[in-house]
Chains A and B, each alone.
Chain A
């Protein structure tokens, strides 16, 4: 059974940093691209970043809204995905989801999400 479990959310001050983790199981982690998607309170879904798979050298892509501030990484030894968030802004307040990307390039499994609140 595919499982994705996010952790690391919480309250952080503007300009602060936070690292989110996504623990995965039930599939061959190195074979899959992985995404981070966020949802601000009462708003829609926003794709923010991707880590490609081992065959594609774990290269990354980012949305313009987070490029240069957020970094997606992964640890194959623990089947974990990470999102390092620096220079946080109040508008980064959201539920952050990690999601597995299927071989057809769609988000077929999602975690339950972790809430990040950026406020002074």
Chain B
């Protein structure tokens, strides 16, 4: 199985800050990676797929990059509504797996 790790597991930043979350895969997954945002008490929401493609309707302050085993999600200017937990997911092979999540808090 492909394991995903995320760093940091928690971050606290101010409104307007640039925030970067890293996801690492235990083996190469090409660009078969997605990022999801989950707000408290809500279902996950797809933000980025194929590592860097922005899902329709997602604000342009979100961006993704990477391939192979290392990927990043960047929020260029953190907004109050970005308070959430962010998960990466690999769809390269079964079983599909998610990273453990990064909780983003607003200072």
Q: Which residues of A contact B94 (CB under 8 A)?
A: 61
| Main SS at interface, chain A | strand
A113 nearest CB neighbor, chain B only: B43
The proximity string for A residues 22-49 relative to B, scoring 1 for CB distances below 8 Å and 0 otherwise, is 0000000000000101000000111100
Residues of B contacting A: mostly: loop
> What 1/0 flags go to A47-88 for Cβ under 8 Å of B?
100100000000001111000000000000000000000000
- Total residues of chain A contacting the partner, CB 8 A: 22
Which residues of chain B have a CB within 8 Å of any CB of chain A? 1, 32, 34, 36, 38, 43-46, 49-50, 53, 55, 87, 89, 91, 94-101
- Not counting A104-B50, A104-B53, A107-B44, a sample of 14 additional A-B residue pairs whose C-beta atoms are within 8 angstroms of each other reads A44-B98, A45-B44, A47-B97, A47-B98, A62-B95, A64-B1, A97-B44, A102-B49, A104-B49, A106-B34, A106-B46, A106-B91, A107-B36, A107-B89
